[in-house]
Amino acid sequence: MNPLWWSQIAAVLRIEMKKTFFSRRGLWVYLLAFFPLVLFAVYSIREFGRPSNFGRDTNVFATVFQVFYLRLAIFFGCVGIFMNLFRGEVLDRSLHFYFLAPIRREVLLAGKFIAGLTAAIVIFTSSIALQFVALYAHYDAETMRDYMLRGNGIGHLIAYVGVTALACVGYGCVFLAAGVLMRNPIVPAALILVWEAVNNFLPSLLQKFSVIFYLKSLCPIQIAPEAGEAFSFLTIAANPIPAYVAVPGLLALAVLVLIFAAARVRRMEIAYVE
Amino acid sequence: MSGPNDRIVFDNVSKFYGDVLGVNRVNLSIPPGITSLVGPNGSGKTTLMNLLTGLIRPTRGHIRILGIRPDEPEQLFRLLGYCTQFDTFPRGFTGYQFVYSYLRLYGCGHGEADDLTWRAIERVNLVDAANRKIAGYSKGMRQRIKLAQATCHGPSILVLDEPLNGLDPLVRSETIALFKQLAEEGMHLIVSSHILHEVDAISDQVIILSNGYVVAEGQIRGVRDEIQEHPMQILIRCNRPGALASKIFEHEYVVEARIHADGKGLLVKTRDASRFYLALNHIAMNGVTIESIAPADDDVNSVYEYLIGPEEPTK
């Protein structure tokens, strides 16, 4: 890789990191990310001194993670972070600053993606780690040590952090591409949300063309719709795929989407709407 | 002699925004020096500049800037700087950060970028305000910081969209002097302006646009010579304007002669300037002392008026 590209990516990062971490526009991303932390902290305070149920808490964590954190918090957080990388600059009428610099548009896209990804991963993985600590905070130290070191604790934590990071990669590239393609980000966000939501109802082949499919496979605890639950008869359970397929599969999907986005950015014009 | 690789070439370029015409069938070959784009609002000046810098893409045709395509920004902006008309900046930037960040994107290390940034900011006389947020700048200061950014990397082509807008008279004349100096150093300057007398003062050549079409291009005098339907106006300063008027009316290519308001000259309209100048030599030998002869309507203002209309062009 051309060494100039590295220094240009670093220059883009310097500009973008401040915007992604500290902009007022991104405040709701922090709210989404840290809302479960508040819930678990409150729960833990209430549970202090009560008879505890480790299995129940582990399932609660898995359910909140898959139903709220992955499908809503990270999803909409990535909408906020990644769609604004290009779309936000068009709205601010400042994208020409980058387009008038001697930088390949593909390098610009890479720099912006890395900036967005760094922000998303830092925010969401730090939150999930803190959520984990908060949920189990009402257990005594010895129980926690046993769970973390002799049980599944550390493995689960690493898995949740890993899935969170991969979710940021998967949703990040999808929303970066959507921000490049569409004028109105609400439309693609809604379409992708529906696509991800109906994932369970799709034929197993189509399920593979979604981010959530790979992420669910990597979660340490599977939560399947139980018999009798609403619409459970419509769900098609695709076999969870092993991590050595899911991780490269998701990364390959991300690379393909980024290549497509780069081709679009290469041809993108500056047309600020008056 | 200049070849295609030291010229800016538009080859049958058209740009449509949906059904709306931006520019149509533009063929240009722009040599070094100061070239002014002149035309009324919506004539296609900014479209032409945005096409040239790759911010928009032509619907048809090809553009080459010293042999480089506009869709190769990584090469193009090593030798081109563009001071746009967009009056918006990345959020939260100070003047210094605006120029410095551009140079880091260019690939400069910290030391070099810092040095070049201060030099560019000094050139536009903004040192005192460099560390203030651009959001608090006046229109003239914003214009100057854009100019600093466009010139900070020492480009050989400078594209300036209404660069004198918002500048006070002193800075305006300093900026014009800077443009002249840069052009003398062999730089291409493409300038759009609606202030015709300033265009006239600085331009080596003009491109006149109307409704998306190039209606004239070249050196002002050459463009003027080609406008046949308007007789050329010549102001002759002499001791006996009345006598001169009676003699020149003998020539059929003289359309009109008017004694100047101060009584010390004659304003002549002729359909054939070359023959008129020859005849004037003979007349001067017959007792009329001619002090000076100067074309009176080969400036941008007159050419603009003849080609587009009497209305002053606006941005």
Please state, in angstroms and rounded to a whole number, the distance separating the CA atoms of residues B274 and B253: 10
Please state, in angstroms and rounded to a whole number, the distance separating the CA atoms of residues B246 and B237: 15
Q: Do A101 and B107 touch (CB under 8 A)?
A: no
Class of residue B246 by CB neighbours under 10 A (exposed 0-12, middle 13-18, buried 19+): exposed
Q: What is the pLDDT of residues A229-242, one digit of tens each?
A: 554 544 445 567 88
Q: Do A12 and B105 touch (CB under 8 A)?
A: yes
Contacts of residue B88 in chain A, CB cutoff 8 Å? 92-94
Residue labelled with tokens 């769970």: A147
A131 domain-assigned: yes
Please state, in angstroms and rounded to a whole number, the distance separating the CA atoms of residues A171 and A213: 12
Residue B201: C-alpha distances to residues A178, B27, B205, B209 (Å) = 49, 25, 11, 19
Q: How many folded domains does chain A comprise?
A: 1
Contacts of residue B84 in chain A, CB cutoff 8 Å? 96, 100
Class of residue B173 by CB neighbours under 10 A (exposed 0-12, middle 13-18, buried 19+): middle
Q: What is the pLDDT of residues A178-209, one digit of tens each?
A: 999 887 778 888 898 898 888 878 887 888 78
Q: Do A100 and B53 touch (CB under 8 A)?
A: yes
Contacts of residue A85 in chain B, CB cutoff 8 Å? none
ipTM reported for the complex, 2 dp: 0.85
Lowest mean pLDDT among A68-82, B100-114, B170-184: B170-184
- Helix A105-135 with A3-22: angle, nearest 10 deg: 50
Structure tokens that stand for A30 in this block = 């922090």
pLDDT value for B289:
79
Q: Find out whether B224 and B297 touch, Cβ atoms under 8 Å.
A: yes
Contacts of residue B57 in chain A, CB cutoff 8 Å? 267, 269
Q: Give the confidence band of A171 by pLDDT, cuts at 50, 70, 90.
A: very high
A94 domain-assigned: yes
The residue of chain A with its CA nearest to that of B110 is A11
Residue A142 carries which side chain, given as an amino acid letter? Answer: E
> For A48-74, where are the alpha helices, taking DSSP H only?
54-63
State how far residue A116 is from chain B, nearest Cα, in angstroms.
17
Structure tokens that stand for A180 in this block = 């490049």
pLDDT value for A40:
93
| Domains by residue range for chain B, with CATH | 4-224 (3.40.50.300), 231-296 (3.30.70.100)
Residue labelled with tokens 């989404």: A32
Q: Give the confidence band of B315 by pLDDT, cuts at 50, 70, 90.
A: very low
Contacts of residue B107 in chain A, CB cutoff 8 Å? 4, 7-8, 102
Pairing between β-strand B20-30 and β-strand B213-218 as defined by DSSP bridges: unpaired
CA-based nearest residue to B160, from B37, B77, B41: B37
Please state, in angstroms and rounded to a whole number, the distance separating the CA atoms of residues A108 and B113: 19
The number of C-beta contacts closer than 8 angstroms across A and B is 80
Global pTM reads 0.84
Residue B83: C-alpha distances to residues A105, A248, B46, B148, B191 (Å) = 20, 45, 11, 9, 10
A272 domain-assigned: no
Q: Do A270 and B50 touch (CB under 8 A)?
A: yes
Q: Give the confidence band of A228 by pLDDT, cuts at 50, 70, 90.
A: very low
State how far residue B102 is from chain A, nearest Cα, in angstroms.
7
A22 domain-assigned: yes
CB atoms within 10 A of CB A161: 17
Q: Do B73 and A101 touch (CB under 8 A)?
A: yes
CA-based nearest residue to A127, from A41, A47, A20, A25: A41
The residue of chain B with its CA nearest to that of A3 is B107
Contacts of residue A269 in chain B, CB cutoff 8 Å? 55-57
Q: Give the confidence band of B5 by pLDDT, cuts at 50, 70, 90.
A: confident
Q: What is the pLDDT of residues B271-311, one digit of tens each?
A: 887 788 878 777 766 677 788 887 777 777 777 777 777 65
Give the mutation candidate from B74, B78, B88, B156 for the A interface (greatest A CB count, under 10 A): B74
pLDDT value for A256:
94
pLDDT value for A73:
94
A49: left (phi over 0), alpha (psi -120 to 50) or beta: left
Task: State the virtual CA torsion across A246, A248, A249, A251 in degrees, nearest 10.
Answer: 120
Q: What DSSP designation does A140 have? A: -
Q: Give the confidence band of B314 by pLDDT, cuts at 50, 70, 90.
A: very low
Q: What is the pLDDT of residues B87-107, one digit of tens each?
A: 999 989 999 999 999 999 999
State how far residue A179 is from chain B, nearest Cα, in angstroms.
18
Contacts of residue B106 in chain A, CB cutoff 8 Å? 101-102
> Rounded to the nearest 5°, which phi and psi values hold at B14?
-130, 150
Please state, in angstroms and rounded to a whole number, the distance separating the CA atoms of residues A36 and A48: 18
Q: DSSP secondary structure string, B6-44?
A: GSEEEEEEEEEETTEEEEEEEEEEEPSEEEEEE--TTSS
Please state, in angstroms and rounded to a whole number, the distance separating the CA atoms of residues A75 and A172: 9
Residue B269: C-alpha distances to residues A130, B247, B253 (Å) = 88, 14, 9
Contacts of residue B73 in chain A, CB cutoff 8 Å? 99-105
Helix (H) or strand (E) holding B82: strand B80-83
Residue labelled with tokens 């405040």: A27
Query: For B61-81, what is the mean pLDDT?
Result: 95
Positive or negative CA dihedral for B120, B125, B128, B129?
negative
Nearest CB among A15, A93, A102 relative to B101 is that of A15
Contacts of residue B95 in chain A, CB cutoff 8 Å? none
Residue A116: C-alpha distances to residues A113, B18, B223 (Å) = 5, 33, 54
Q: Give the confidence band of A159 by pLDDT, cuts at 50, 70, 90.
A: very high
Structure tokens that stand for B8 in this block = 């800016």
pLDDT beyond 70 at B45: yes
Contacts of residue B51 in chain A, CB cutoff 8 Å? none
Q: Do A92 and B90 touch (CB under 8 A)?
A: yes
CA-based nearest residue to B300, from B243, B228, B217: B217
Domain, as residue range, for A123: 3-266
Residue A18 carries which side chain, given as an amino acid letter? Answer: K
Nearest CB among A4, A7, A94 relative to B90 is that of A94
pLDDT value for B50:
96
Please state, in angstroms and rounded to a whole number, the distance separating the CA atoms of residues A225 and A233: 9
Please state, in angstroms and rounded to a whole number, the distance separating the CA atoms of residues B131 and A71: 43
pLDDT value for B290:
80
pLDDT value for A246:
87
Residue labelled with tokens 């949703």: A171
Q: Do A99 and B55 touch (CB under 8 A)?
A: yes
**SS3 of B270, please?**
strand
The residue of chain A with its CA nearest to that of B100 is A11
Q: Do A270 and B56 touch (CB under 8 A)?
A: yes
A271 domain-assigned: no
Structure tokens that stand for A197 in this block = 């939501």
Please state, in angstroms and rounded to a whole number, the distance separating the CA atoms of residues B312 and B315: 10
Query: For B256-268, what is the mean pLDDT?
Result: 86
Lowest mean pLDDT among A192-196, B12-16, B113-117: A192-196
Give the mutation candidate from A8, A97, A270 for the B interface (greatest B CB count, under 10 A): A97
Task: Look over chain A and give the mean of its residue pLDDT values, rounded to a whole number.
Answer: 88
Q: Do A7 and B104 touch (CB under 8 A)?
A: yes
Please state, in angstroms and rounded to a whole number, the distance separating the CA atoms of residues B222 and B137: 42
**SS3 of B237, please?**
strand
Q: Do A4 and B107 touch (CB under 8 A)?
A: yes
